[in-house]
Chains A and B, each alone.
Chain A
């Protein structure tokens, strides 16, 4: 479904943002992406969905290259950013319809999807309200409904649980599981390690732009909690820094 092959990105001033990232997400996977603030999670995700360019490597989505065939890649993705800045002058329904138009979702199909997901995320009565009047969580839900309306094969979510209330958060987790069970794939970044441990079958930990752990949850965490693993990675890095100094 998604292959990230040795991608690296460097900023204009020469700073390395991410180095040699390798990921392989298969159908049925729920893949957690963990790292501290500024570790390179969002940069990697933005490179995958085609927001950022990258200097080296290649990204394949369902056999299509994001570099040479971005349109076919993006058709297969539902992307939710960490801070869903949406067109505030539109209503929720107008925004979802706009996305559905771009993805050329047939009318009956989109009506069903809008009804289904707005019920799940309790947005039915608010669909005709202006997005400007929405809270952060409501924007997140509208972004989710819009992303799901075209039935994507791959969900890519950047910090999806931030701002969601417990019900919406629960529904999202349920949807992610359902999607993976139905042969789709989910790749998401999070700081909520307990959720990642419960939800994911695979996990990758990124530290200072490089992957330090990557694989099946049992292989990465073993008998420990993901939190302990994450702290070990941090402490090892700190020790290395001290030694280098």
Chain B
């Protein structure tokens, strides 16, 4: 590999994940250690889950399907990831100006950025390919040639998802660049794209109904969702040419992407840079606002100023608004028809509070709210205000976001599910309790572990310790009550009452704790 590309890639990687801090003293390296531990834990869970899935396929007599199934599922996951990650890594990246001053070609920069994406995607794909090697490879049907081909395919598999992510990501920015509110439009386009992609997956996976032949069912489901799966067949040596065709197509796509993308890289980034320095701002009258409003407005402005921060922060709320609107427009029956299992209206009413709360948990800008101050933290530190006010503003920003989705969901719930008084109380109390819990928890984590010296906000927004810990905790506090409700372990009102008391009490503790953590 070209030496310059390698240096650029290593530098880019070190900026996004500071590996070197892993070996530093306890306090300095703690953040990175937590990040690695959380990612490792997540990886181990996924690895175990995929190994169990592969073993289930063996027990169903579908051993030959394992490689294709795992590669297809990992590809779909990688498409989602690359749609979320391509912008910010290649286009609209904060290091564009700095990189432009180096004696390297645009093609070299572009390839190094692709390598960056490839590295992360390969790590994800390994979580799917390792179980294949553990379960499928020892099987008699897997010849050494097929195993070798699988190994090569596993290395190639991130290429198509990356190409899809980069092409769509650049399209999003290209279209958004025509608007004054570029970042908001870009995030809206990205959300529409993710929504369309999710809808496509749901509808395509429901199109096959022949459950008698599980092998044929899974094969059709895979190929319906991810077309390149037709070439990923490792059941016999007859399909070698299919696999070779897949490798060839992937390589060809990559070459085309490099050739066209590297030409477009500078043009699009320059356009984005010009928009960043947009001077076409409407002159507004000077007004006096309260300290709280000024700080809250500043938080909202920060949220809307970063593509990565906004996209990650509003995903859950937008999903809640979208599903609530869908519920209002189409009713319960049409929506439940999209789910591949029968769910009664009563169950929907019972789990609605936890479901809407779960979506709010995804939207949690407080986990990065303090770190997002970056090198501007001196401003907050020198303002003549109590730390409590800063905390209130940061919490209020997230609450505002949650409330915007919450009230629509409640209206949809009342109109379409006609709840009784008790159900309505839970539908209000539970999401609010979750919201209070996760915002205070996220902010406490960020205050305990702030990072102001970042170069790319992607690290802060997507993989910083507060974000990962908050995501894990969020998952746990949704799964446990949901399981208790679905398996009817305890009466619903006991679960919800206990949950709301617990979450609100914890929120109070977290809030108090955050107030005691000194910024200075």
For residue A87, which residue of chain B has the nearest CB?
Answer: B376
Are A52 and B382 touching (Cβ within 8 A)?
no
Interface status of A214 (Cβ within 8 A of chain B) = no
Number of B interface residues, CB 8 Å?
A: 39
User: Across the interface, do B283 and A128 meet the contact criterion of CB distance under 8 Å?
Assistant: yes
| B382 pairs with A77, CB closer than 8 A | yes
B279 within 8 A of A: yes
Q: How many whole Å from A153's CB to the nearest CB in chain B?
A: 12
B384 contacts chain A at the CB level, 8 A cutoff: yes
Q: Which residues of A contact B386 (CB under 8 A)?
A: 71
- Contact status A130-B277, CB under 8 Å: yes
B279 near A49: Cβ-Cβ < 8 Å: no
Q: A157 CB to closest chain B CB, in angstroms?
A: 12
Q: Decide if B278 touches A130 in the complex (CB within 8 Å).
A: yes
Q: Contacts A49-B382, A50-B382, A53-B520 given; indicate if A102 touches B291 (C-beta within 8 A).
A: yes
CB-contacts of B103-150 with A (<8 A): none
CB pair A51 B381 closer than 8 Å: yes
A window 122-158: CB within 8 A of B: 128-130, 132-133
How many Cβ-Cβ contacts under 8 Å join chain A to chain B? 105
Is B376 a contact partner of A110 (Cβ separation < 8 A)? no
Closest to A152 in B: B384
Q: Contact between A85 and B286 (Cβ–Cβ < 8 Å)?
A: no
Q: Which of B52-60, B295-303, B416-424 contacts A (4 or more CB under 8 A)?
A: B295-303
| CB nearest neighbor in B for A92 | B281
Complex CA distance for A99 and B378, rounded to whole angstroms: 13
| C-alpha spacing A107/B286, complex, angstroms | 8
Q: CA separation between A111 and B287, bound complex, in Å?
A: 9
Are B277 and A133 in contact (CB-based, < 8 A)? yes
Contact assessment for A98 and B520 in the assembled complex, using a CB-CB cutoff below 8 Å: no
In the complex, chain B residues whose CB is within 8 Å of the CB of A101: 288-291, 293-294
**Cβ of B384 and Cβ of A103 under 8 Å apart?**
yes
Identify A81's interface contact among B282, B305, B378, B518, CB under 8 A.
B378
**Whose C-beta in chain A lies nearest to the C-beta of B292?**
A101
Which residues between 35 and 83 of chain B lie within 8 Å of chain A, taking CB atoms? none
Let me know if A85 and B378 touch, CB within 8 A: yes
Q: Does residue A195 face the partner (Cβ distance < 8 Å to B)?
A: no
A176 interfacial contact with B, CB 8 Å: no
CB distance B281 to A72 under 8 Å? no
A191 at the interface (CB under 8 A from B): no
- Check A86 against B379 for contact (C-beta < 8 Å): yes
Q: Does B27 contact A (CB under 8 A)?
A: yes
What is the bound-complex CA distance between A153 and B518, given in angstroms? 26
- Most A CB contacts (10 A, CB to CB) among B375, B376, B378 go to B378
Smallest CB gap from A81: residue in B: B378
| Smallest CB separation, A19 vs chain B (Å) | 20
- CB <8 Å contact, B286 and A102: no
B288 x A128 contact (CB < 8 A): no
Cα A79 to Cα B382 in complex, Å, equals 8
Q: How far is the CB of B74 from chain A (nearest CB, A)?
A: 37
Residues 12-53 of chain B, each 1 if its beta carbon lies under 8 Å from chain A, else 0 = 000000000000010110000000000000000000000000
17 A-B pairs whose Cβ atoms sit less than 8 Å apart in the complex = A49-B381, A50-B520, A53-B520, A70-B384, A71-B384, A74-B383, A85-B375, A85-B376, A87-B301, A89-B304, A93-B284, A97-B286, A98-B294, A101-B293, A111-B286, A130-B276, A133-B278
User: Could you tell me which B residues sit within 8 Å of A by CB distance?
Assistant: 25, 27-28, 276-279, 281-284, 286-291, 293-295, 297-298, 301-302, 304-305, 374-376, 378-379, 381-386, 518, 520
